[in-house]
Structure 1
Amino acid sequence: MTDEYMLEYRPVDGKALLAKLARVKWSFVIMAVLCFFWAVYMYVTAPQGGAGGLLPTPVEGPAGLVGLLPWCGIVGGLLGFVGTVVSRSPWALGWVEPLVSIVMLLAGLWGIYSIPELGTFGQTYTLAGVFLALYVAVIALELYRRDASYWYVEMLVAAAVLAISLAGGVNMASDAALVGFYSLAFFVAAWGFVYGALKLGGSDKGAEACETVVAAAE
């Protein structure tokens, strides 16, 4: 094999790699992963109860999802706070970003000891959806503060999450029928965190790709 077909070895620049990883908005990445997972987890939960097809879902059905939500808040709050501290990117709206993680953590800790007070599936997950919508709105305001392009896309995502959650809250359908509403709310919120992580975390290529998609849609 001639030299022209040989692959050129390029050493990995460890410092540059660490610098890029340090700029990642890990709190948003964690929230995106958590929301994607929880959306799928809710979707595969059997409405009538029993084991899920893909994941070990609660046998109580939607009622069991109420008891598991505090643990979701604890994981998201704890890892989100650590991700906020580790990341070298500026915090969204100053101290608002770490405070949101602290609120999630405290709410989760309160929830595991107060499950009977959490309310019905619809009530609990409506509040969770409103919280996610406000969190995504915080990202949108930070994008606006930095004069980032297409910041309004993030605000539209927040509005969509809020609308879906409230629609589920005022719906008189059974809890089993509402699972799809809140699963969609978490799924949409996850994309809001993805966009925020790309725009605010120093990933120029990822942000440009998102903006290209938005521009093409317009």
Structure 2
Amino acid sequence: MSALPKYRETQLKLRAYIAEHGLRAGDQLPPEAELAEVFGVGRLSLREAIKGLETVGVVRTRHGGGTYVEPFSFAPILENLPYAFQVEGRDLLNLLELRAALEEGLIARASEWIRRRDVEELRGIATAMGAEGCTPDEHAALDRRFHRRLYEPLDNPLVSQVIDLFWEMFNRLHRATVAQPSTPAELARMHLDIVDAVAAQSGEVEAMCRHFENIRTRL
């Protein structure tokens, strides 16, 4: 006898069904009646299972239109983080170390693929950070855009999602702390240093390390 609740057992069966049948993002699952028969469960358990998989972004149900496999995304992970982790910020430094390791490890590779128009766009974003009257929310939006844009030349959607996930997690925790903020001029200078190094394909790892070290000293 399974120790799992029926709906959890059904979730595992649904995941296995998707994998075994090679279903991809956008593919429709069979009707509820058919799935319930295949899995040997009632419709209530099946609906609970589907609802749970919707929460973590595996499938999506369209009202009156069936259930479909969703594209992979880290967004549900962020949305379902424990409340204490989001608010208390106990793991802020550990999260920063993860983010730094990821970006410091990828920056040299990104600089190999970066083009002139990428550099100019990054320079524009970094320069905007130093504008007078730029609000904290505007700074945050520019910073997120900068780090996302920096790795786009890698043409790796998974990298982009992970970078964005770590940025959002760190930003949520950072807002809950009393960390000393950088001035607009400092923010602009740090990011322009990264742009200059990437454009020259020299010293980009060091520039990124200095950027994260500056953040560490303010936590």
- The higher radius of gyration belongs to 2
The structure whose residues are more often helix, as a share, is 1
TM-score calculated relative to the size of structure 2: 0.29
Larger relative contact order (Cα-Cα within 8 Å, sequence gap ≥ 6): 1
